[in-house]
């Protein structure tokens, strides 16, 4: 993942297209989250939408992953495999999707509640989402990668939550995962300088309890070690000569 690619104007247009489809797939996933639906049913609708849009699901068969979306529930941090599990009232559900079109990927995620959720769960989701935007303030030319990381960490920890450290954000383009890695923690002033034309997937993963995680026997699903709730928020962005551009922008962002 070490190579950082600077995108041309043509490549940026292709990434905008991929990002738009990805964001719309996330919005669809969000609209389907309700008590009684299975994670596989959500996955199937996302698959159909991405294919109908002329794209391919980035995640399907990526490293052997069996779904078109990662659907993670409650204490599942990331990489939840869609299956027979039924969503229950009060669950929180992370919908992580990617779409590949024209040779380029988009990648985004959000956590949503099924029906009425607790105040604590709602705050966790809100803090996770806002931490992305805190980091985004430093996604400008001249700053370094860890300036984004530090801003995310400061905001999350000030709200009493912990950050997953084993999994990080990343560059994105022709490959779903490119350089640089973008941790959600760390001291400012480190890592590569941000340059116009970089495309990045920034994705805080926030636990209500401790930061420790474990991987289930399926080899994919990552859960909190203490069983606490976890939330995830992600967008693909473009570094410009001014404000960063969110390529996976959707009306419900």
Cβ(7)–Cβ(199) below 8 Å: yes
- 1 pLDDT above the threshold of 70: no
User: What's the CATH code of the domain at 51?
Assistant: 3.90.230.10
The answer to the question of residue 150 being in a domain is yes
pLDDT at 3: 87
* Phi/psi at 65 (5° precision): -65, 130
Residue at 252 is within a domain: no
Longest Cα separation, the chain: 48
pLDDT digits (tens, 9 = 90+) for 8-62: 999 999 999 999 999 999 999 999 999 999 999 999 999 999 999 999 999 999 9
**Nearest-angstrom CA–CA distance, 105 and 201:** 10
Computed on alpha carbons and rounded to an integer, the radius of gyration of the chain in Å comes to 17
In this predicted structure, what is the pLDDT of residue 251?
56
Tell me, yes or no, whether 4 lies in a domain. Answer: no
Q: Is residue 2 part of a domain?
A: no
Kindly tell me if the per-residue pLDDT of 151 is higher than 90.
yes
Instruction: Give the Cβ contact number of residue 93 at 10 Å.
Output: 25
Q: Is the pLDDT of residue 209 over 50?
A: yes
Dihedral sign computed on CA atoms, order 97, 144, 153, 2? positive
48 occurs within a structural domain:
yes
Number of domains into which the chain is organized: 1
- Predicted confidence at residue 27, as pLDDT, reads 97
Peptide bond before 141: cis, by omega within 30 degrees of 0? no
The pLDDT of 62-66, averaged and rounded, is 97
Q: Give the contacts of 134 (CB within 8 A, at least 6 positions apart).
A: 151, 152, 154, 155
What's the whole-number mean pLDDT along residues 88-92?
A: 98
- The dihedral over CA atoms of 170, 245, 80, 208, expressed in degrees to the nearest 10, equals 90
In-domain check, residue 75: yes
Q: Convert the chain into a string of H (helix), E (strand) and C (coil).
A: CCCECCCCHHHHHHHHHHHHHHHHHHHHHHHHCCCCCEHHHHHHHHHHHHHHCCCEECCCCHHHCCCCEEEEECCEEECCCCCCCECCCCCEEEEEEEEEECCEEEEEEEEEECCCCCHHHHHHHHHHHHHHHHHHCCCCCCCEHHHHHHHHHHHHHHCCCEECCCCCEEECCCCCCEEEEECCCCCCCCCCECCCCCEEEECCEEECCCCCEEECCCCCCEEECCCCCEEECEEEEECCCCCCEECCCCCCC
> Does 79 map to a domain?
yes
pLDDT of residue 253: 43
Domain that holds residue 76: 9-246
- The first and second tokens of residue 125, run together, are 């989701």
Residues in the chain: 253
Q: Whole-prediction pTM value?
A: 0.96
Q: Which whole number is the average pLDDT over 110-125? A: 98
d(CA 245, CA 1): 23
Say if 236 falls within a structural domain.
yes
């Amino acid at each position: 993942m070490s190579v950082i690619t600077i995108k041309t104007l043509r490549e940026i247009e292709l990434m905008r297209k991929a990002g738009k489809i990805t964001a719309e797939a996330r919005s669809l996933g969000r609209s389907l989250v309700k008590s009684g639906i299975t994670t596989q049913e959500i996955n199937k609708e996302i698959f159909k939408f991405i294919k109908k849009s002329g794209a391919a699901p980035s995640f399907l068969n990526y490293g052997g992953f069996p779904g078109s979306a990662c659907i993670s529930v409650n204490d599942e941090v990331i990489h939840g495999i869609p299956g027979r599990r039924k969503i229950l009232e009060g669950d929180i559900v992370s919908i992580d999707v990617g779409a590949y079109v024209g040779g380029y990927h988009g990648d985004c995620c959000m956590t949503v509640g099924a029906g009425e959720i607790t105040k604590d769960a709602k705050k966790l989701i809100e803090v996770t989402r806002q931490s992305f935007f805190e980091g985004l303030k430093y996604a400008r030319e001249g700053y370094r990668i860890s300036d984004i990381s530090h801003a995310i960490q400061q905001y999350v920890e000030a709200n009493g939550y912990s950050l997953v450290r084993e999994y990080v954000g990343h560059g994105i383009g022709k490959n779903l995962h490119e350089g640089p890695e973008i941790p959600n923690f760390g001291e400012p002033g480190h890592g590569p300088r941000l340059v116009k034309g970089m495309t990045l997937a920034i994705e805080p993963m926030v636990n209500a309890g401790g930061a420790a995680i474990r991987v289930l026997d399926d080899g994919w699903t990552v859960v909190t070690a203490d069983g606490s709730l976890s939330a995830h928020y992600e967008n693909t962005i473009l570094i410009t000569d001014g404000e960063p551009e969110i390529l996976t922008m959707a009306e419900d962002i």
